[in-house]
Amino acid sequence: MRPPGRRALPIQLLIYLAVAALAVAAALYAIEVMRMRGIQAGFGFLKNTAGFEIGFKLIRFDSTDSYGRAFVVALLNTLLVSGLSVVLGTAIGLLVAVARLAPIPAIKAAATMYVEAIRNTPLLFQLLALYAVSLAVLPPPRDSITVVGLALVNNRGIFLPSAGMTARAALAAIALVLLLAAYGWLSRRRSLGRPVLALTAIIAVALAASTLASMDWVVPKVLGFNVEGGIALVPELAVLVVALSLYSAAFIAETFRSGFLAVPAGQWHAAFALGLDRAATIRGVVLAQALRACLPALASQYINVIKASSLAAAVGFPDLMQVFGKTTLNQTGQAVEVIALTMAVYLVMSMTIAGAVHGYERRVAMER
């Protein structure tokens, strides 16, 4: 007799195929109706010249490139904002959750005030307020704040040194990757002693330092009313990441706190009885168990971060909604295709996170 999960698999596949068939049929019907009414339909416009510039981009783009490349640039910007916000939001949320459980009343009260203040005010208001404050506080380019003689900060963004890869740096980087790969391969097959680990760490640090030192560095400099050289991080990016991180951290903190409270009290008492302090108990005993309890809620928060990144248009950051869902739509007039493609991207990103978390949960359940 097959397990219940396997017996239900054919039915699930039929349901998925039926939903997919309905979606394809609806799309084909919409395209046919638009063509009958003389409305241009299809995704051929992606090959046309965009004719606009994008202020912040991770890959090369100019006005002579196509709408398809503009879509890729905007998608990479969205992934950058979402990824940075998820990482920072998780780190801040974990710290706030620990603070909310702290035995010191002042720390606990401060963390509680942060959570309640952030969760009960609109994200758009926080984003606009932070953007206005940052532009008012930061100086103009001629009075840029210099950080360690390498970076510049002003109201046009954060300018970091850029590095060009040289042949020597490439060789050092390849050697570093091979060293780490060899160590990982050997460590899986035999137990390596501490001397080997120490020697590997020393060589790895030396190769990493050689790689950085051999690169062709360009330090940003103030020339007239602008900054030349280096990598420019526009203030819109920084403000958007900070706002999303702080907002999501308030919800993630409550998620982690619920996970901590779900761990039986006996686990805490046993760790204290073994002589572990509070930090070691949370790090080595409680966190792993709490993470299993709060994974579904964490996945929901990460999906919310991805969807909330569309608010980038409020501060003018060129994300997917700003570049493709607004500018491209206005220029091409093909609203159905543009909106459908944009929605599909957000759906795929959200479903990827949900699927990854579900897969991890199943693997953990099988290991028990």
- Residue 147: beta bridge partners? 151
At residue 122 the predicted structure's pLDDT band, cuts being 50, 70 and 90, is very high
Q: Which residue would you say has higher pLDDT here, 241 or 217?
A: 241
Per-residue pLDDT reduced to its tens digit, 156-178: 778 888 777 788 888 888 888 88
Alpha-carbon distance of 276 to 112, in angstroms, equals 26
With beta carbons less than 8 A apart as the criterion, state whether 220 and 160 touch.
yes
Choices 1.10.3720.10, 3.50.50.60, 3.40.50.10320, 3.30.310.10: CATH for 46-161+229-367: 1.10.3720.10
Give the per-residue pLDDT at 11: 80
Query: What's this model's pTM, rounded to 2 decimal places?
Result: 0.76
Q: What is the mean pLDDT of residues 23-51?
A: 78
- Residues of the chain with pLDDT > 70: what percent? 95
Domain ranges of the chain: 4-39, 46-161+229-367, 162-218
Q: Which residue would you say has higher pLDDT here, 265 or 326?
A: 326
Residue 5 has pLDDT above 60, yes or no: no
Give the per-residue pLDDT at 331: 86
Strand order in the sheet with 145-147: 145-147, 151-154, 157-160, 231-233
Which of 97-111, 183-197, 326-340 has the highest average model confidence (pLDDT)? 97-111
Q: Would you state the structure tokens that stand for residue 167, as one six-digit string? A: 């042949």
Q: What is the mean pLDDT of residues 260-278?
A: 78
DSSP letters along 131-173, please? HHHHHHHSPPGGGPEEETTTEEEETTEEEE-EEE--HHHHHHH
Residue 286 to residues 142, 257, 263, 296, 357, Cα–Cα distance (Å)? 51, 11, 7, 18, 20
Per-residue pLDDT reduced to its tens digit, 225-234: 778 777 777 8
At residue 92 the predicted structure's pLDDT band, cuts being 50, 70 and 90, is very high
Per-residue pLDDT reduced to its tens digit, 48-81: 888 888 888 888 888 888 888 899 999 999 999 9
Residue 210 has pLDDT above 80, yes or no: yes
Q: What is the mean pLDDT of residues 17-27?
A: 83
Beta-carbon count within 10 A of 94 CB: 21
With beta carbons less than 8 A apart as the criterion, state whether 219 and 261 touch.
no
Beta-carbon count within 10 A of 34 CB: 16
Residue 4 has pLDDT above 60, yes or no: no
Residue 360 has pLDDT above 60, yes or no: yes
With beta carbons less than 8 A apart as the criterion, state whether 309 and 81 touch.
yes
Give the per-residue pLDDT at 1: 47
Residue 327 to residues 54, 259, 267, 324, 338, Cα–Cα distance (Å)? 10, 43, 55, 6, 10
Report the mean per-residue pLDDT for the chain.
83
Residues 6+ apart with CB under 8 A from 353: 299, 302, 303, 306
